[in-house]
Homo-oligomer: A and B are copies of this chain.
Amino acid sequence: MKFEAATIKDIAKALGLSTSTVSRALRDSYEISEATKKKIKDYAAQINYRPNPVALSLKEKRTLSIGVLVSEIANTFFSQVINGIESIAYKNGYNVIITQSKESVEREEMILDYLTSRSIDGLIISVSAETNDFTNLKQLHEKGLPIVFFDRVVEEINTHKVVTDNLDGVYRATQHLLQNQCKRISVIANNANLSITKERLAGYKKALNEYKMNIDESLIKYCDHGGLIVEEVEKVVDELLTLKKKPDAMVLLADKITTETFSILKKKNINMPQDIAVIGFNNSKYTSLFSPALSVISQPAFEMGEQAAQLLLNLIESKRAVTDFKLEALAPEIIIRESSQISSR
């Protein structure tokens, strides 16, 4: 059972006019007399007429909706980004279709195929951790689908990108640990394929280099699924804790990895920051309520969403092909709390 909404035809019939006259009157065309316009508009308002967006889409070859693909909606960072995207899209009359890959390549491929079979005008995407083959995405881009990357970007595809200044964020976080006399700073990173992993590790190494510390590869661990699988985090934490020369600090390079590691360390009754100082990426307000209150690198998620959406709308609505692409790198905020503050050691 469906509810049948009024169409232009209904109005035309009721008023003894043609559909074209009605259409023109509703769009306030100059060629219609004020009297007819008024009659038509009044009647339209009365029966609560709304133009059918599907018919418009078919005619105008656009859907007024944009697709968003992230790895997980329930992740605070992503839901904040989506919030930002939504606010801009909404303001400009666009729908947002939100989808999640759950870090799976197959799901990502399926979703892309689905979304781009004409149901979106543009795409905002943070690629899944597993993905390292971007031919599909590249093809879509070459065919003319407007794409904006955020967070996890694909270097080979030339389009707008919105990221956190990951290098600087981790650089400052690591610096802070070094200033707190940490000597063996470990890191747990996301999948090595990801742009964010490379950038964040570069920040870590930059800080160590400045302090003339050696890069010890045994202190660098990866979670291929971005911490979505608890076991992969447990595994690397255990590896770090059973090293001959144990780390005295951890820098956690992804939201999920941060909270999982924190939880694991607590369960093992490891004192933070005394035994291990901890700082990691996370966007949830809740981390301030943790015990110890967690030091975090927080990304300007809402703004990232806003910027990505604005850039995408620019692409979609631009008349000429855009060739000048922007890379927006927004500054993260380093929030130092108890988990990384070593008063004396």
CB within 8 Å of B: which residues of A? 1-3, 5, 50-55, 57-58, 61-63, 65, 73-74, 76, 79-80, 82-83, 86, 90, 95-100, 113, 117-119, 140, 143-145, 259, 262-263, 266, 284-292, 318, 320-321
Cβ 8 A contact of A1, one of B51, B99, B144, B288:
B144
List residues of chain B with CB within 8 A of the CB of A86. Answer: 73, 99-100
User: Which residues on B sit within 8 Å (CB–CB) of A263?
Assistant: 288-289
Given A5-B118, A79-B79, 12 new contacts (CB under 8 A): A5-B117, A52-B117, A52-B118, A54-B54, A54-B57, A54-B63, A54-B118, A54-B119, A55-B58, A65-B97, A286-B287, A289-B290
Q: B100 to A3, Cβ gap below 8 A?
A: no
Number of copies: 2
**Separation in Å of the A280 CB from the closest CB of chain B?**
13
With both beta carbons as reference points, the residue of chain B lying nearest to A291 in the complex is identified as B291
- Enumerate chain B residues within 8 angstroms of A144, measured Cβ to Cβ: 1-3
Flag if B73 contacts A95 (CB, 8 Å). no
Known A96-B97, A119-B95, A144-B3; contact A58-B58, beta-carbon cutoff 8 A: yes
Q: Please tell me if the beta carbons of B286 and A266 are within 8 angstroms of each other in the complex.
A: no
Query: Could you tell me if A53 and B100 are in contact, using CB atoms closer than 8 angstroms?
Result: no
Q: List the B side residues contacting A117 at CB < 8 Å.
A: 5, 50-53
4 closest Cβ contacts across the A-B interface?
A291-B291, A3-B144, A3-B143, A50-B117
Residues of B within 8 A of A97 (CB): 65, 95-97
A294 and chain B: residue at smallest CB distance: B289
CB distance B119 to A53 under 8 Å? yes
For A83, the chain B residues whose CB sits under 8 A away are 73-74, 100
